[in-house]
Structure 1
Amino acid sequence: MKRRIHQQRQARSLKFFRSIHRVSAIYLFAVFIIVSVTGLMLGWKKHSGGWLLPESVRGTSTELKDWLTLDSLYINACSILSDSVSPGLSHDLERIDVRKEHGMVKFVFSGHFYGIQLDGATGRLLKIERRRSDIIEKFHDGSIIGHALGLPGEYIKLIYTSLTGLALLVLTITGFWIWYVPFRLRNKDRF
């Protein structure tokens, strides 16, 4: 009698864990497809021939003493962005990459996915970049949602990664339990 009650409890817990496992798996199915595809793309970005990650173009001088000031290079980059891409794009910077070994300065703008590579010494345009790897990275970590909604900060990314991590943890624990209970019931008499 005791054994039967114990088996009924385990069967109820197994049913409960299966329902939690199913709900977690539904959410994670879409997330895992996005994370796996974007992860593969990010892994291969340096080997995409410049399609995902823009290649760095060489400038004329690697000597910093020959270079223009960052301020004048920034003004030039903003002018090129407005004239060559779109006058309505934001000039707010995400970062400035100084590549001394290439003789080049890269201005990466926030709010859109364009970058401008300039010769550090002459200020001449070397390349206008479409930063596809940044777009893919935002899909990979979930921050594309905050970007699309125009929300400041990284709260959406934090919520997305927390929910995904917790769902994966729940999926792992419930998956183990779904495997373990029947295994234990089948093999109880053997041990």
Structure 2
Amino acid sequence: MSQNPSRAKQAKLIRNFRKIHRITGLVLFVFFLFVAISGILLTWKKNSGGLILPKSQKGTSTELSEWLPLERLQSIALQVYRDSISAETVPELDKIDVRQKKGMVKFVFNEGYWGIQLDGATGAVLQIERRWSDLIENIHDGSVLDHWFRTDGGLKLFYSSITGLALLLFSVTGFWLWYGPKRMRKKLAR
């Protein structure tokens, strides 16, 4: 007789987990789709043949003593941006990536995910690139929302927290949806 109330309790728990799992899945479907697709693309970025992540070009010298000063290289990159990408936009520099072993410096801009690779020694333009990998990373971690709405990290924090907590919730409820019936059958067999 004590098995029936226990069994009913377990069945109710499993039904509740199934309901939570289903509702959360419906509500967060789009978030998971973005996280999954962007995660797959990020996994393949270095093996995309330059489609997702532009290849780093090689400059003429790896000796830093032969390089132009970083200020001069930055000035060249800003001018190349104005001449080749957009004369109307005031370019905002996101980061400077110095690749000594390649003899090259990458200048990455916030607007439009553009990058410019310059030869460290001569300042010659090695490549003007669209940095799709940066956009995909921003979609993956939610910072694209802060970029679009010009907020200071709050939307990324919300997006990442919701997707992380939902993944944790899915793991727990999914486990119980798998394990709960097994446990019930095992108890019934006794």
Report the TM range for the smaller structure's normalisation.
0.7 to 0.9
Q: What corresponds to 1:107 in structure 2?
A: 107
Change (3 A) 1:96 1:66: same
- Does structure 1 conserve the Cα–Cα contact (< 8 Å) formed by 2:32 and 2:163? no
- Which residue of the partner structure matches residue 60 of structure 1? 60
SS in 1 for 2:8: helix
Equivalent position SS for 1:30 = helix
Post-superposition shift, 1:131?
0.4
Instruction: Name the amino acid aligned to 2:177.
Output: I
Q: Structure 1's 17 and 134: CA in aligned 2 closer, same or farther, altered over 3 A? A: same
Task: Note the alpha carbon deviations across 1:9-68, whole angstroms, 9 max, x for none.
Answer: 333333222211111222443333322322222222122222211112222222222211
The answer for unaligned runs of 5 or more in structure 2 is: none
Closer, same or farther: CA 174–123 of 1 in aligned 2, 3 Å: same
Q: State the secondary structure of the residue aligned to 1:168.
A: helix
The aligned runs of 1:33-48 (5 Å cut-off) are 33-48=33-48
CA contact (8 A) 1:28 1:168 kept: no
The superposition leaves residues 85-143 of structure 1 with CA deviations (integer Å, 9 ceiling, x where unpaired) of 00233432221111122221111112330011112122121111110111111112222
Alignment of 1:41-190 (within 5 A): 41-152=41-152, 154-190=153-189
Residues 34 and 139 of structure 2 are in contact (CA less than 8 Å); yes or no, is this contact kept in structure 1? Answer: yes
Question: Mean alpha-carbon deviation: is it higher for 23-32 or for 54-63?
Answer: 23-32
Secondary structure, counterpart of 1:105 in structure 2: strand
Distance 1:189 1:125 in 2: 73
TM-score by length of structure 2 reads 0.88
Is the contact made by 2:103 and 2:120 (CA closer than 8 Å) also made in structure 1? yes
Aligned-partner residue type, residue 30 of structure 1: V
Tell me how far apart the structure 1 counterparts of residues 8 and 85 of structure 2 sit (CA, whole Å).
Answer: 67
- Secondary structure at the counterpart of residue 129 of structure 1: strand
SS of equivalent residue, structure 1 residue 65: helix
Segments of 5+ residues of structure 1 without an aligned counterpart are: none
Cα shift at 1:2: 4.8
- What's the TM-score, normalizing by structure 1? 0.87
Contact 1:90/1:110 (<8 A) preserved: no
CA RMSD of aligned residues (A): 2.0
Question: Identity, % of aligned pairs?
Answer: 48
Cα offset for 1:188? 1.6
**How many corresponding residue pairs?**
190
Q: Is the 8 A contact 2:104 2:117 kept in 1?
A: yes
How far apart are the structure 2 equivalents of 1:174 and 1:188? 20
